[in-house]
Amino acid sequence: AAALGRGSGRPGSGGIRGGAAMDLFGDLRRMNKRQLYYQVLNFAMIVSSALMIWKGLIVVTGSESPIVVVLSGSMEPAFHRGDLLFLTNFHDDPIRAGEIVVFKVEGRDIPIVHRVIKVHEKGNGNIKFLTKGDNNEVDDRGLYKEGQNWLEKKDVVGRARGFLPYVGMVTIIMNDYPKFKYALLAVMGAYVLLKRES
């Protein structure tokens, strides 16, 4: 009987089917205003804490996006689709050939993760460089904006310093299936709002 789940034995709960939905609405109705405000504030604290951690990572790493997910197979075998990359972007560090950078080009919304293959350093300290995906046949000049043959430091979002394999697949699934994303967010929001303090 314990395995059937909470509320499955209540009269009028609809048994297993629909029982969870009825429990959810029943819990909401039984909550007084003070409990509801408390849960909403609790949810707001979780969201604001996550935002503060993200902003803190931006300050510490110097990168506008300290964590990114690899979306394509152009860097295989170094990185695979779904790998989570940790980035830094300290402007004093020189860019060197062989380094893996994440860069943004004008006209493209999604940053690209590729390896630096050539660097041109001028006497005044300006650096221009060329990138290429390890799994690609040609360099990235076809990806840059029209007439652009080299990248500059201003185009760099960050440089790969570490990674976790395949952890970012959840992000890819949520982007590929928006309904799954909204369902997951709704379940998480409902859990935080209805969670009882023990």
Stated pTM of the model: 0.69
Query: Phi and psi dihedrals of 121, rounded to 5?
Result: -110, 125
pLDDT tens digits, 35-45: 778 878 888 89
Q: Which residues are catalytic, by number?
A: 74, 114, 140
Contact (CB, 8 A) for 92 and 159: no
- Using CA atoms, how far residue 37 sits from 22, 42, 44, 46, 124, in Å, is 22, 8, 10, 14, 59
What's the CA gap between 112 and 102, in Å, rounded?
Answer: 5
The domain limits of the chain are 32-61, 67-165, 168-197
pLDDT bucket at 198, cuts 50 / 70 / 90 = very low
Mean pLDDT, range 43-54, rounded to an integer: 91
pLDDT bucket at 184, cuts 50 / 70 / 90 = confident
- 67-165: what fold? Umud Fragment, subunit A (2.10.109)
Mean pLDDT, range 125-146, rounded to an integer: 92
